[in-house]
Amino acid sequence: MTTAASTPSPRVLIVTGASAGIGAALARAAARDGYAVLAIARRAERLGALAAAIAAAGGRAATLALDVTAADAPQRIVATALETFGAIDVLINNAGTGALGALLEIDDAALAAQWELHVAAPLRIARATRPALRARRGALIFLGSGLARVPIPNYGAYALAKAAIRAAATQLRRELRAEGIAVGYVDPGLVATEFHATLGIERTRGLRALDPERVARAILRGVARRRASIAGSALQRAGTVLAEWAGPLLDGVAVQLAPASPAPVVPPPPPPVAAPATPARADGVDAALAPVARRMERVKLSSGFVRDALVPGATLELNELAMRWAGMPNKNERAALREVLEALESAGYLQREGEDSWSVTRAAD
């Protein structure tokens, strides 16, 4: 954690996904508005630069580098905010990324990862911050998407998760009303961020992307006015509402707007039956990885990364390890990493603990 200032502040704002895009813009704008900001993301170096810029402009910020889906993330976030600033007034759940793929072709791991990032993690953090928000009659904000109203093919897991958090925001607004906590849902519109580039696709042509700074200002105005519904662009939101109302009439247009689906995963050929592989206990990690070597090469997964992960006694979680390796892993990368872990399990290096977790039983040779 890095801290740009340590004296108490009357207003404290937490924003996740703060290393770029809307999150970084929110941190800067909130600091200009007099908030003490706790900026959270996985990329520590970007958070450090953000905190330094805020401090140079006379603002106050602290940073916390973590994955919001980690089991201990909510407790660490609350502890850091209270220890650094003494209160929490606003929580903005902004962290997120997309996932490409037709809905029935997305594997369980990709579906689960989108749910964890966009629904489960924000709700866990909201639960942890609830007492502090209640004490200050604070605000709880969830970032949504136009895809929650108007799903487009090949955004399957992302659209579902955003629709779920939209419904959750409405439910929480009604449940927390008596506690004095304002709950807001943000439809940011099409924004000029890293979202599309991370997925390897282009933004929709013919529609002007909004400046993240403009969207950040709109969100903070909504927070100040305790609005239940906040739009990055009133015009874009109106278009989304009309498209939702049109329903099946716009199915053809939605199909035309869909990004290309990633190529299906093609499993490597099985090893020849007549010449079974020698167990890795005799030949080492390279022999264990031989059946998936071509797959690793295609997704640029190095054997060095795999070897470094083999720390006896450690637990390897598929989602966490994929993010550590690829940052924002796509479906193919996640599937390839699963095959690698299963190969190491067969070779005796790992022991399965759950559907997506293994314990390391043996170090690399």
- pLDDT tens for 52-100 read 999 999 999 999 999 999 999 999 999 999 999 999 999 999 998 887 8
Task: Give the chain's length.
Answer: 365
Range of the domain at 336: 280-360
E strands, the chain, in order: 2-3, 12-16, 36-41, 60-65, 90-93, 139-143, 182-187, 229-231, 315-317, 350-354, 357-360
Is 285 part of any domain?
yes
Residues 38 and 183 in one domain: yes
Whether residue 30 is predicted with pLDDT greater than 70 in this model: the reply is: yes
Rounded mean pLDDT of 203-213?
76
Instruction: Give the model's confidence band at 34: pLDDT under 50 very low, under 70 low, under 90 confident, else very high.
Output: very high
Give the residue among 155, 184, 142, 175 at the shortest CA–CA distance from 258: 155
The CATH number of residue 54's host domain is 3.40.50.720
263 occurs within a structural domain:
no
- Residue at a domain's end among 257, 292, 311: 257
- 8/72 same-domain check: yes
pLDDT recorded at residue 205? 62
Asked whether residue 273 is domain-assigned, the answer is no
Together in a domain, 162 and 32: yes
The answer to whether residues 32 and 148 belong to one domain is yes
pLDDT at site 365: 72
Q: Looking at the structure, do residues 291 and 189 belong to the same domain, yes or no?
A: no
Determine the pLDDT at residue 269. Answer: 56
Q: Are residues 148 and 191 in the same domain?
A: yes
**Sheet containing strand 229-231, strands side by side:** 2-3, 60-65, 36-41, 12-16, 90-93, 139-143, 182-187, 229-231
Q: Does residue 61 lie in a domain region?
A: yes
CA contacts within 13 A on the Cβ side of 39: 37
- What CATH number is given to the structural domain containing 352? 1.10.10
Catalytic residue numbers read 158
In a shared domain, residues 219 and 286: no
Within 8 A by CB and 6+ apart from 145, the residues are: 158, 159, 162, 187, 188
Confirm whether 350 is domain-assigned.
yes
Q: What is the pLDDT of residue 8?
A: 47
- By the 8 A CB rule, do 196 and 203 touch? yes
Question: Does one domain contain both 203 and 131?
Answer: yes
Confidence at 17, pLDDT banded by 50, 70, 90? very high
* 284 and 249 within one domain: no
Does 262 reside within a domain?
no
Count of the separate structural domains present in the chain: 2
Q: How far is CA 65 from CA 38, 45, 202, 216, in A?
A: 11, 9, 29, 21
Residue 271 placed within a domain: no
Residues 225 and 309 in one domain: no
Q: Are residues 236 and 310 in the same domain?
A: no
Whether 304 and 217 share a structural domain: no
